[in-house]
Structure formats: C-alpha cells, structure tokens
C-alpha cells in the first residue's frame, strides 16, 4: 500500500488518500483462478460466486467510470457478470479470466451508456446532488470529489475508462487496448488526454509530494 | 500528479487513488449476492446440454422427414411417364436373334477400308 498525500500548498484543502493496490493484474494467469474458472465452466455456481466476490469491486468501478451514475453502473456490472456466466463455455480457460470479464464489462457499460445518454442529458452529477455540508476537511473532500466528477463528465467515456483502467486499476496499455478493442497508440492517447484534463481540473488540489 | 512520461507506462498513483476512491461504491458483498441470486434463477446449461435436450425431438423430426421424403420419391417415381428406352435393358440393344457370321463381320470391316463386298480391293 502506498500512501499518497494530496496536501495542499496554499489555498487548497488537505486531503490524504491511500493508493489502493489490488491484486495484479490483467494478463497473468493465476492457477487458482484457473481452477475456479474451470469449475464455473462446469456449472459450479459456488466457484463462479468466488469470482464474482473477487471482481465485484473492479467491475463496478469500471462500469461507473463509463456510466458515472452508480445505479446504472451496477446494472451494467450485473449484466456483465450474467453475460460472463452464460458464455463461460465459450471462454478459453488457458487465458486469463480478468481481461475477458473486463471486456464484457466495458461492452455492457458502453451499451447502457449509449442507451442512457439521451435520458440523462443534463442531469446533475451524483456528487452534486448528494453533497452535504460538513466540517472543513470533509467539505474539502467533497469539493475534490465534486470537481473530479465534473472533470470526468467532460471526458469521453473512452477516455474515462482508459484512464481508470490504467491509473486506478493498474492495467497496461496493451491490456486496455485488447479490452477496448482499439490500438495501443489510441489507448496511450486516451490516457494522455484524460490525465491532462483531470490534472488541469484538479490543479488547485494538487499536493506538493505528488 | 505529474506530467512526466505522459505516454509512458508509469502510473499516476495519486490520480489513480483519487479515481479509485471516487469510483468505488459500498457494499460489494450485497452486490455480489444480488448477482448470484440472478444467476441462481438462470442456471446455465452447456452447449452440449442444450443440444442434448433437443436431440430426441430433432431425431424424431429427422426420421419423419426421411420417411416423408422416401414416400414422396416413391410415389413420384411410380407416376412418372417413362420412355420405352428407359425401360429397355441395355443388353437388349447389343444383342440380336440373327446369327452373326464371320463373313458379316469381315464385310463390315473391309468395305469400310476400301474393299468391295466380295473382298476384292477396289
């Protein structure tokens, strides 16, 4: 675990975040996971449940990076797990499970995003609606989340998912390219532009140590 | 959050942590339980099981089709007007009741090769 201080310099708020390091990562083949996948392919719901427990967090985050709204994101994440379950017999168990699941997730969330796009046009970001007053530190965090939410809304869904998978989930450019079905250069560009926009938006909150 | 190696493989851990926290939602356990509840309502069958479920019906349908096709072909063949040539045995075309003599065969060959019917060269 890496502690990342976002303490401000002058006017900015003091916010400390802890970098969340989950199990790595996309393209590696975990033998224990291979056993779970093989059992699930055979119809073992308990084995599949273990996979759901293991990947619920990342699947929900990736879905949310595309959809922004947490309810829609959970719908897409559920759909992704169901699609994975229904199509497990087509999955090549000699390949890692996580990128396959991520690809299903990105597709499910993107589909839902396109269907919801018109309906949610103009809706306030969740963090603005939910925001409540609080102590200074909490207010600062709330402001940071609000600004981040706004900045994410201004990115394309492809930029959001690329930067989320790269910086927050630790996928390589190549893995993301495979998951998103785009060239690696496109992923680099998406991550670059997304980072630039987010950094600019969050500049008032930047910590000196980062 | 630095701008170094903007296209490089290095992660921006501060930005990643922010995104991670921002996108994380609570209660993954409840979410996972909801997913599994849906899955329990929709048990998955393998492709072979699906095929096996359809196999008896498919085989019965195939048998019925085969019988129907056989009957149809049979009746069509019976009703079809046939030329006499179709019914003649090919052997009949090659055989004759007349005895074939050596002279007959030789004449046929020699006349075609410049001899008259008596065998004299023309």
pLDDT of residue A193: 94
CA distance, residue A149 to nearest chain B CA (Å): 8
Q: Which residue numbers in chain A have pLDDT < 50? A: 1-24, 121-133, 208-210
Domain ranges (residues) in chain A:
2-205
pLDDT of residue A173: 93
ipTM higher than the 0.90 cut: no
| Mean predicted confidence (pLDDT) in B11-38 | 90
Residue B89 has pLDDT above 90, yes or no: no
pLDDT of residue B87: 56
Q: Are the beta carbons of A168 and B34 separated by less than 8 Å? A: no
pLDDT of residue A110: 92
Q: Which of residues 110-129 of A touch B (CB under 8 A)?
A: none
Domain at A2-205, CATH from 3.10.620.30, 3.40.50.12590, 3.40.50.300, 1.10.1740.10:
1.10.1740.10
Conformation bin of residue B5: beta by default, left when phi > 0, alpha when psi is -120 to 50: left
Q: Are the beta carbons of A86 and B44 separated by less than 8 Å? A: yes
Q: Which residues of A touch B20 (CB under 8 A)?
A: 19-20, 61, 168-169
CB B121 within 8 A of CB B114: yes
Give the span between the Cα atoms of B56 and A159, in whole angstroms.
Answer: 51
For residues A96 and B116, the model is more confident at A96
For residues B64 and B47, the model is more confident at B64
pLDDT of residue A140: 74
pLDDT of residue A22: 44
pLDDT of residue A6: 39
Q: Are the beta carbons of B35 and A199 separated by less than 8 Å? A: no
CA distance, residue A31 to nearest chain B CA (Å): 23
CA end-to-end span of chain B: 116
* Confidence category of residue B114, pLDDT binned at 50, 70, 90: low
For residues B55 and A184, the model is more confident at A184
Q: What's the number of CA atoms in the CB half-sphere (13 Å) around residue A61?
A: 25
Give the span between the Cα atoms of B110 and B22, in whole angstroms.
Answer: 109
pLDDT of residue A78: 95
Count of pairs with CB atoms under 8 A, one residue in A, one in B: 138
CB A179 within 8 A of CB A162: no
CB A206 within 8 A of CB A12: yes
Q: Are the beta carbons of A168 and B7 separated by less than 8 Å? A: no
DSSP 8-state code for residue A22? -
Distance set, CA B80 to CA B69, B73, B74, B86 (Å): 16, 10, 10, 12
- Considering only alpha carbons, which residue of chain B is nearest residue A61? B23
Give the span between the Cα atoms of B116 and A83, in whole angstroms.
Answer: 93
pLDDT of residue B101: 72
- Considering only alpha carbons, which residue of chain B is nearest residue A62? B23
Q: Which residues of A touch B31 (CB under 8 A)?
A: 56, 60, 74, 77-78
Distance set, CA A95 to CA A38, A98, A133 (Å): 11, 9, 48
């Amino acid at each position: 675990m890496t502690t990342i201080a976002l303490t401000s310099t002058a006017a900015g708020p003091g916010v400390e975040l802890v970098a969340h390091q989950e199990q790595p990562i996309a393209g590696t083949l975990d033998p224990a996971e291979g056993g779970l996948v093989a059992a699930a392919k055979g119809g073992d719901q308990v084995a599949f449940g273990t996979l759901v427990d293991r990947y619920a967090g990342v699947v929900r985050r990736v879905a949310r990076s595309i959809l922004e709204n947490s309810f829609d994101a959970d719908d897409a994440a559920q759909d992704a797990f169901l699609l994975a379950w229904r199509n497990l017999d087509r999955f090549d168990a000699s390949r890692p499970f996580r990128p396959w699941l991520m690809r299903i997730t990105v597709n499910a969330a993107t589909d839902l995003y396109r269907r919801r796009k018109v309906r949610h046009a103009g809706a306030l970001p969740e963090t603005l609606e939910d925001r409540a007053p609080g102590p200074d530190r909490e207010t600062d965090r709330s402001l940071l989340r609000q600004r981040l939410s706004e900045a994410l809304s201004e990115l394309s869904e492809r930029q959001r998912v690329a930067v989320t998978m790269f910086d927050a989930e630790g996928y390589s450019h190549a893995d993301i390219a495979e998951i998103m079905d785009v060239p690696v250069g496109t992923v680099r560009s998406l991550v670059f532009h997304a980072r630039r926009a987010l950094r600019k938006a969050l500049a008032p909150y930047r910590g000196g140590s980062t | 959050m630095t701008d170094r190696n903007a296209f490089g493989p290095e992660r921006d851990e501060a930005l990643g942590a922010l995104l991670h926290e921002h996108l994380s939602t609570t209660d993954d356990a409840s979410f996972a339980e909801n997913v599994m509840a849906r899955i329990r309502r929709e048990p998955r069958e393998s492709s072979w099981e699906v095929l096996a479920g359809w196999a008896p019906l498919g085989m019965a349908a195939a048998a019925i089709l085969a019988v129907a096709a056989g009957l149809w072909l049979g009746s069509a063949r019976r009703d079809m007007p046939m030329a006499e040539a179709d019914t003649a045995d090919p052997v009949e075309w090659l055989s004759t009741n007349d005895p074939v003599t050596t002279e007959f065969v030789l004449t046929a060959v020699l006349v075609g090769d410049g001899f008259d019917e008596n065998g004299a060269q023309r």
